[in-house]
A = this chain, B = another copy of it.
Amino acid sequence: MADLGESGDLDTAWRTLRAGLIENRWLLTSRSTALPGLGSTALAVYDGVAALLSRTARETFGPEVTPLRFPPVFSAHMLEQTDYVASFPQLAGTINSFRGGQGEYRDLIATYGRGDDWQPLFSPTGLALTPAACHPLYAWLEDGEVDHTRLYELTGDCFRHEPSEDPMRFVAFRMREYVRLGTAEQAMTHREQWLAIARSLYETLGLEVDIVPANDPFFGRGGILLAANQRRDEAKWEVVTEVYPGTPCAIGSGNYHDTHFGDEFGLRLPDGSTAHSACFGFGMDRTILALAARHGFDPTTWPGAVQVELGLAG
């Protein structure tokens, strides 16, 4: 067989992983590319990772931990406040619905009946898909004073439109985020603490990880500059592991936002100055798939210590 070169190897690697995940019912696929469900085994591992994170947060930060949950949908206006429209329009998702009356409904049904594309007959609702689990938090806190003693714990579905057959890249995926708002120092400390916690936690689960500057896919030619700025400012670090040999894949990231969200959402410190923020996000789906890639599809054969950490033993 011919040498496929690096991208061919990568292609083979993710096809092999994908086939194994489907065969072992970790991923439940349908016509919707990159939108698989999780089977019972995957869910048990998922729940184990979620419980481990909750336990670790409470052991470390006690009553500061404040669990909240926001829905996967929010106001499209929020994509403006976070500047997501300008930075990542190709990943964003806005929501349309049918807004017409009986006459337009007749047109809709006729179009639908002919088998033609009815989606253009839907119009904007002013709603969008949440691209990051922490954005709705800033919207809830809007124009208020932040409490730096709160460690917000958020679990949320995120949407990023980058359809791919690579099982490490879902269009809809789940993040567990830990967020701190406060002074610059408090926010920076938060990111450093959680990078350390995440490294230790992933190593406990048998994953070899590295921490590298992030390289987000900002749109277009201007995006090259924005990505360079992100790396220069060391604003965002990713925890990566080699799910595919030679190709680091981010399974978590720590992001210091400076006063980006504080400015846009009017978040203040008690002295009236603008709040800084930082978040650490665990990519939940990627984490469990990395565990499957590392240890195999049957958790009863995983190292005993990993099973114990995830509550899967016995």
Contacts and interface: CB of A to CB of B under 8 A. Distances in A.
Interface of A: 28-32, 35-40, 43, 46, 66-78, 80, 85-86, 89-99, 102, 105, 108-109, 112, 117-120, 122, 124-127, 129, 136-137, 139-140, 142, 157, 159, 161, 170-173, 219-221
B122 A71 contact: no
B71 A172 contact: yes
Nearest to A142: B30
A157 B29 CA distance: 18
Contact of A80 (B68, B112, B139): B112
A241 to B, nearest CB: 23
A89 B98 contact: yes
Contact of A105 (B72, B78, B220): B220
A240 B252 CA distance: 43
A263 to B, nearest CB: 17
A175 to B, nearest CB: 13
A74 to B, nearest CB: 5
B220 A32 contact: no
Nearest to A88: B98
Given A72-B157, A136-B30, A98 B109 contact: no
Contacts of A142: 30-31
11 contacts: A30-B74, A32-B78, A32-B127, A32-B139, A37-B137, A38-B68, A38-B69, A93-B97, A119-B126, A127-B161, A127-B171
A37 B69 contact: yes
A127 B37 CA distance: 15
B30 A139 contact: yes
B40 A67 contact: yes
Given A29-B140, A32-B75, 7 more contacts: A31-B78, A32-B139, A35-B70, A35-B73, A90-B98, A94-B96, A105-B220
Contacts of A127: 32, 35, 93, 161, 171
Contacts of A89: 97-98, 105, 108, 122
10 interchain residue pairs of minimum CB distance: A89-B98, A71-B172, A30-B139, A37-B70, A32-B75, A119-B124, A73-B172, A97-B161, A28-B140, A93-B95
